[in-house]
């Protein structure tokens, strides 16, 4: 059974956000949503019949809820987490699956991000967190969802402008202790790098066929092997999923190209054939210039 949400974050006397686990009795705490005074309720006892540590209002206002505090607190902690990575110039690796084709993908969330903005005004909507590039363009919007999912108008706005929407759904006050884990695996990411998917993000993905020099394992004749370098908003990776045009570009390079069905992608891909013993080149060696 899902635990009831409690108030587990507050502002201390200096106005800094503090989680209940780090709070000390006798300090002054206020609610980050309604600014009313909070009392820390933390018992040394554990076990059946004892409540989890939490904050309680001296006087609760009608517009203040644990859900609102959870949303506010997670957002603040996530902004600080993202800014720390940017300041230290560290990548933030994350992974997701396309909701359409189910392809699993990963990358660096901050690959092209230069700034993090909270409640950034985009005229038609205000994403909880916006990631901006060096030219002040919004490249991604992060929506923290507790009770209300993003409006359809906002989703449409993001799609029209090529802004990637990431959604993190919260359901427990323990999510405040899992900020890094939650952002590394968002609940949904509106971005697909699979070229055969209807959600393929063609406008922000660049592809280039690469050739690598290698040699035949049997007769040591020079060979080449091929892959596709995929550059996206979240970094670059190599792929053995070739489009027909990319296959044609490789075939135009040599008359010794065979087209096989790849065992991993189950799609056709070009393979160089040894002139002497007819072996196929699968391994990458020293990279040659791009086609």
Per-domain residue ranges of the chain: 9-61, 68-189, 205-287
Model confidence pLDDT, tens digit, residues 123-132: 889 999 999 9
Model confidence pLDDT, tens digit, residues 91-107: 999 999 999 999 999 99
Whole-Å CA distances, 94 to 52, 169, 188, 189: 31, 16, 11, 10
Q: Would you state the pLDDT for residue 288?
A: 39
Q: Would you state the pLDDT for residue 264?
A: 83
144 is written with which tokens? 């923290």
In words, the CATH class of domain 68-189 is alpha beta
Residues 6 or more apart in contact with residue 75 via CB below 8 angstroms: 118, 128, 129, 144
Which parts of the chain register pLDDT below 50?
A: 1, 283-291
Q: Would you state the pLDDT for residue 47?
A: 55
Q: Would you state the pLDDT for residue 214?
A: 85
Residues in the chain: 291
3-state secondary structure of 160: helix
CB atoms within 10 A of CB 39: 13
């Amino acid at each position: 059974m899902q635990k009831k949400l409690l108030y587990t974050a507050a502002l201390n006397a200096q106005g800094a956000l503090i989680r209940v686990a780090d709070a000390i009795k006798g300090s002054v705490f206020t609610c980050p949503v309604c600014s009313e005074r909070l009392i820390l309720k933390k018992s040394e006892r554990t076990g059946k019949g004892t409540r989890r540590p939490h904050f309680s209002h001296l006087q609760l206002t009608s517009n203040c809820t644990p859900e609102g505090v959870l949303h506010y607190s997670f957002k603040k902690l996530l902004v600080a987490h993202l800014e720390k990575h940017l300041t230290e110039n560290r990548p933030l690796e994350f992974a997701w699956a396309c909701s359409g084709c189910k392809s699993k993908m990963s990358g660096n969330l901050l690959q092209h991000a230069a700034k993090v903005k909270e409640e950034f005004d985009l005229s038609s909507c205000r994403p909880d967190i916006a990631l901006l590039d060096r030219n002040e363009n919004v490249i991604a919007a992060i929506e923290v969802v507790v009770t209300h999912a993003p409006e359809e108008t906002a989703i449409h706005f993001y799609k029209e402008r090529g802004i990637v929407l990431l959604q993190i759904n919260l359901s427990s006050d323990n999510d405040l202790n899992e900020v890094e884990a939650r952002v590394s695996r968002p609940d949904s990411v509106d971005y697909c790098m699979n070229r055969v998917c209807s959600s393929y993000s063609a406008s922000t993905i660049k592809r280039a066929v690469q050739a690598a020099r290698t040699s035949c394992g049997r007769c040591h004749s020079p060979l080449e092997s091929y892959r596709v370098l995929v550059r996206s908003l979240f970094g670059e990776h190599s792929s053995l999923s070739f489009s027909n045009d990319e296959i044609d570009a490789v075939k135009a390079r040599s008359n010794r190209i065979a087209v096989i069905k790849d065992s991993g992608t189950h799609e056709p891909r070009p393979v160089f054939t040894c002139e002497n013993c007819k072996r196929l080149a699968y391994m990458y060696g020293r990279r040659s210039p791009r086609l």
